[in-house]
Amino acid sequence: MDHDRVKPQDQLATYLAEDMAAVNTLIRARMASEHAPRIPEVTAHLVEAGGKRLRPMLTLAAARMCGYDGPFHVHLAATVEFIHTATLLHDDVVDESARRRGRPTANLLWDNKTSVLVGDYLFSRSFQLMVETGSLRVLDILANASATIAEGEVLQLTAAQDLATTEAIYLQVVRGKTAALFSAATEVGGVIAGATENQVRALYDYGDALGVAFQIVDDLLDYGGTAAVIGKNIGDDFRERKLTLPVIKAIRRATAEERAFRHRTIARGDQTVGDLEQAIEIMARHGAMAAARDEALMWAERARAALVVLPDHPLRGMLRGLADYVVSRIN
Amino acid sequence: MDHDRVKPQDQLATYLAEDMAAVNTLIRARMASEHAPRIPEVTAHLVEAGGKRLRPMLTLAAARMCGYDGPFHVHLAATVEFIHTATLLHDDVVDESARRRGRPTANLLWDNKTSVLVGDYLFSRSFQLMVETGSLRVLDILANASATIAEGEVLQLTAAQDLATTEAIYLQVVRGKTAALFSAATEVGGVIAGATENQVRALYDYGDALGVAFQIVDDLLDYGGTAAVIGKNIGDDFRERKLTLPVIKAIRRATAEERAFRHRTIARGDQTVGDLEQAIEIMARHGAMAAARDEALMWAERARAALVVLPDHPLRGMLRGLADYVVSRIN
């Protein structure tokens, strides 16, 4: 089998299959609820939907690459997936999304109330899991990541519809919504394994850069992918009037007429048939898509570069491949 | 000054004034956000609204009563208040409430999205605060309390409108929505102070019983208080079709006609002018209000009884008085 043809996340999944089975068992055990049967119904809908489990794999890979052979990387991987799932539940309420991972969202199948409360439950469960590791440093990292995530989400809410949003604000939002959990996922893997400070820092940097690259690509796909590829409706960000990187770049280069278009469709939110196509056409005209793609490639390169101080290990090669793969979705 | 005339929470506030000032300073510092200015706007609205600060006072009182003289009872008190405030923000989304503490709710002033995300931010901030104490036992207690709170909220959601809800389910909901945080608040105060196991258990029991008494009284006031007294609209629970203790007791004793009334107003949710008054009249007819009041008194007595193993200390007297005061609202 030619490994170049196998997707890096599938290589990781194969290499970490035993650990991932333990993570899935733990997730199923902990998403149960003695008293409130609706909780496992909702979480099963999400957890069984077959997300890529990318974040827990990052934790497992970091820990194993640094030689860990204890039991707690499994707890941390489940923690990270619970935080991610909780965030998705709350995001879908905030974004009023109808589809997630190619299926109807929980807020559509049940209601917003359920999504809010089951999200809170999963946050609490993740918190219990990480306490079980007995590592205050791990708790500190994950507490800080949680705060960055929540802060980024609020920032995104207030930056939406604001045509003055800068690339610096965009980066802050992206750190919150994606990179904070990626970097925490890899960092805690190193910490639990007792890696050197240098390696822990490198794992943080890898996760951070991978997360930023991942999110820029995601934001590009929202204007260029198909619903089948990305598992959500194309143009969601446009309809939600989010100022993502290609949009910010296009606004900076806009003609007076294009400014009027942005003012109407984003600032005022007055959108009509054909506007999405026009938005895409404007971004293409200014090379805004290509410029955003170049930034994603730069972040992927940073992720690869961070790996050099880590042990020479098969997992390191897969993580390097993952950085390439994340940006390959737009190449 | 005749202490019998001073409310116990005011006695506590006076006795703990210095500690509470430190808690308020810490709360203000930690509710800030470097990047998202909407966060302090929303939290200030809630925190400055002048809630009773009952939960943080319980933590401070427990710690001081057990001889604590370190700095971390302040962190734990702020933690407890942040968890409480986060829960209120999410509750208001779930209940679609318009008023809280006599003021418009955050979801009315801003929107549901903001309430969800700022609630998440406060949860994360509370988590950071408790990690700073360096006590894994405290983290364990608060993680478990968080899970019980979230589970109770989901249970309440599914039990609403369900005429088959039992008193056992009601108690589980009450433990989640109120007693879990009361008991965690008192327990962590004892733990941080290095109290004996017997005392820690007693502090848990006191907080648990006080919380249950408090919630039963709150549920009674929702059918009997005035908007001025309770700071929210009377009849909220009726409109939200919640199965609270007096309702459950009245349903158990209902005539066929009354059952039809409950079926229409609660199960089907078809409510009209005069229904709230009729619901109150039915509950009074069956002595359901009086029976619920008796249970509240019993829980208050349990709270008082738990205090006997705790140190003979002025704060112990105030906590005893607090148990009496909580139920005095319905006497």
- Angle between helix B180-192 and B197-224 (nearest 10): 150
Q: What DSSP element (H or E) covers B17?
A: helix B17-30
Length of chain A measured in residues: 331
Q: Taking CA A175 as the corner, what is the angle to CA A324 and CA A97, rounded to the nearest 5 degrees?
A: 90
Q: What is the pLDDT of residue A145?
A: 96
Q: Do B36 and A113 touch (CB under 8 A)?
A: no
Phi-psi category of A33—alpha, beta or left, where left has phi over 0 and alpha has psi -120 to 50? beta
Does B128 lie at the interface with A, CB-CB under 8 angstroms? yes
A212: exposed, middle or buried (Cβ count in 10 Å: 0-12, 13-18, 19+): buried
Distance from CA of B107 to the nearest CA of A (A): 12
User: Which chain B positions have a beta carbon within 8 Å of A37's beta carbon?
Assistant: 158
pLDDT band at A330 (very low <50, low <70, confident <90, very high): confident
Q: Which residue has tokens 């949003």?
A: A165
Q: Which residue has tokens 């009315």?
A: B108
Model pLDDT for residues B78-112, shown as the tens digit of each residue: 999 999 999 988 988 877 766 665 667 776 667 78
Q: What DSSP element (H or E) covers B265?
A: none
Q: How many CB atoms lie within 10 A of CB A192?
A: 23
Which residues have a Cβ under 8 Å from the Cβ of B283 and sit 6 or more positions away? B223, B246, B247, B249, B250, B289
Q: Do B131 and A128 touch (CB under 8 A)?
A: no
User: Which chain B positions have a beta carbon within 8 Å of A39's beta carbon?
Assistant: 151, 154
Q: Do A153 and B117 touch (CB under 8 A)?
A: yes
**Amino acid letter at A198?**
N
Q: Do A117 and B124 touch (CB under 8 A)?
A: no
Q: Is A308 within 8 Å of A50 (Cβ atoms)?
A: no
Q: Do A139 and B139 touch (CB under 8 A)?
A: yes
Assess whether pLDDT exceeds 80 at residue B232: no
B147-160 mean pLDDT: 87
Helix then strand then coil, in percent of chain A rounded to 5, is: 75, 0, 25
What is the CATH code of the structural domain delimited by B8-328? 1.10.600.10
Q: How far apart are CA A234 and CA A221, in angstroms?
A: 8
Pairing of strands B99-100, B103-104: antiparallel
Among the listed residues A97, A104, A100, the one whose alpha carbon sits nearest the alpha carbon of residue A231? A100
Q: What is the pLDDT of residue A189?
A: 98
Does A93 lie at the interface with B, CB-CB under 8 angstroms? yes
Q: How many CB atoms lie within 10 A of CB B256?
A: 7
Q: What is the pLDDT of residue B6?
A: 85
Of A35, A121, A172, the CB nearest to B35: A172
Q: Cα dihedral sign for A20, A24, A25, A31?
A: positive
Q: Do B131 and A154 touch (CB under 8 A)?
A: no
Q: What is the pLDDT of residue B226?
A: 44
B132-137 mean pLDDT: 96
pLDDT band at A101 (very low <50, low <70, confident <90, very high): low
Among the listed residues A264, A210, A251, the one whose alpha carbon sits nearest the alpha carbon of residue A57? A210
The two tokens of residue B93 are: 């989304």
Looking at every residue in chain A, the average pLDDT score rounds to 89
User: Which chain B positions have a beta carbon within 8 Å of A34's beta carbon?
Assistant: 151
The two tokens of residue A327 are: 């940006």
Distance from CA of B164 to the nearest CA of A (A): 15
Q: Specify the higher pLDDT residue, A4 or B176.
A: B176
Length of chain B measured in residues: 331
Q: What is the pLDDT of residue A225?
A: 54
Q: Specify the higher pLDDT residue, A327 or A95.
A: A327
Q: What are phi and psi of A196, to 5 degrees?
A: -65, 160
A212-241 mean pLDDT: 78
Which of B38, B116, B125 to mutate against chain A (most A CBs within 10 Å)?
A: B116
Assess whether pLDDT exceeds 60 at residue A204: yes
Q: What is the pLDDT of residue B218?
A: 92
Among the listed residues B66, B192, B68, B193, the one whose alpha carbon sits nearest the alpha carbon of residue B140? B192
Distance from CA of A131 to the nearest CA of B (A): 6
Q: Report the DSSP beta bridge partners of residue B100.
A: B103
Q: Within the 25-64 window of chain B, which residues sit less than 8 Å (CB to CB) from chain A? A: 33-39
Assess whether pLDDT exceeds 70 at residue B60: yes
B146: exposed, middle or buried (Cβ count in 10 Å: 0-12, 13-18, 19+): buried
Assess whether pLDDT exceeds 70 at residue A103: no
**Beta strand ranges found along chain A (DSSP E):** 99-100, 103-104
A228-237, A276-285, B217-226: segment of lowest average pLDDT: A228-237
User: Which chain A positions have a beta carbon within 8 Å of B35's beta carbon?
Assistant: 151-152, 155, 172
Which residues have a Cβ under 8 Å from the Cβ of B46 and sit 6 or more positions away? B85, B88, B89, B100, B101, B106
Assess whether pLDDT exceeds 80 at residue A285: yes
Q: What is the pLDDT of residue A40?
A: 81
Of A35, A125, A172, the CB nearest to B172: A35
Q: Do A155 and B36 touch (CB under 8 A)?
A: yes
Assess whether pLDDT exceeds 80 at residue B10: yes
Superfamily of domain covering A3-328: Farnesyl Diphosphate Synthase (1.10.600.10)
Q: Do A123 and B120 touch (CB under 8 A)?
A: yes
Distance from CA of A166 to the nearest CA of B (A): 13
Q: What is the pLDDT of residue A132?
A: 96
Q: How far apart are CA B166 and CA B248, in angstroms?
A: 7
Among the listed residues B63, B33, B15, B52, the one whose alpha carbon sits nearest the alpha carbon of residue B325? B52
B99: exposed, middle or buried (Cβ count in 10 Å: 0-12, 13-18, 19+): middle
Distance from CA of B5 to the nearest CA of A (A): 41
Q: Residue A95's closest chain B neighbor by CA? A: B113
The two tokens of residue A48 are: 């069984």
A113-126 mean pLDDT: 91
Q: Is B207 within 8 Å of B182 (Cβ atoms)?
A: yes
Q: What is the pLDDT of residue A226?
A: 44
Q: Specify the higher pLDDT residue, A242 or B210.
A: B210
**Amino acid letter at B128?**
Q
% residues pLDDT > 70 (chain B): 90
Assess whether pLDDT exceeds 50 at residue A1: no
Assess whether pLDDT exceeds 90 at residue B161: no
A197-206, A294-303, B33-42: segment of lowest average pLDDT: B33-42
Among the listed residues A152, A185, A188, the one whose alpha carbon sits nearest the alpha carbon of residue A170? A152
User: Which chain B positions have a beta carbon within 8 Å of A155's beta carbon?
Assistant: 35-36
Q: Specify the higher pLDDT residue, B330 or B267.
A: B267
Q: What is the pLDDT of residue B3?
A: 46
% residues pLDDT > 90 (chain A): 66
pLDDT band at B224 (very low <50, low <70, confident <90, very high): confident
The number of angstroms, rounded, from the C-alpha of A285 to the middle of its chain's C-alpha atoms is 29
% residues pLDDT > 70 (chain A): 90
Q: What is the pLDDT of residue B234?
A: 80
Size of interface A-B (CB pairs under 8 A): 137
Show me where the domains of chain A are located.
3-328
B9-29 mean pLDDT: 94
Q: Is B97 within 8 Å of B107 (Cβ atoms)?
A: yes
Q: What is the pLDDT of residue B111?
A: 78
Model pLDDT for residues A20-61, shown as the tens digit of each residue: 999 999 998 998 877 777 788 887 777 666 677 999 999 999
Among the listed residues B103, B148, B281, B125, the one whose alpha carbon sits nearest the alpha carbon of residue A125? B148
Q: How many CB atoms lie within 10 A of CB B302?
A: 17
Q: Report the DSSP beta bridge partners of residue B99.
A: B104
Q: What is the pLDDT of residue B42?
A: 80
Model pLDDT for residues B121-134, shown as the tens digit of each residue: 999 999 999 999 99
pLDDT band at A228 (very low <50, low <70, confident <90, very high): very low
Q: What DSSP element (H or E) covers A202?
A: helix A197-224
Assess whether pLDDT exceeds 50 at residue B113: yes
The two tokens of residue A174 are: 């992206």
Looking at every residue in chain B, the average pLDDT score rounds to 89
Q: What is the pLDDT of residue B114?
A: 86
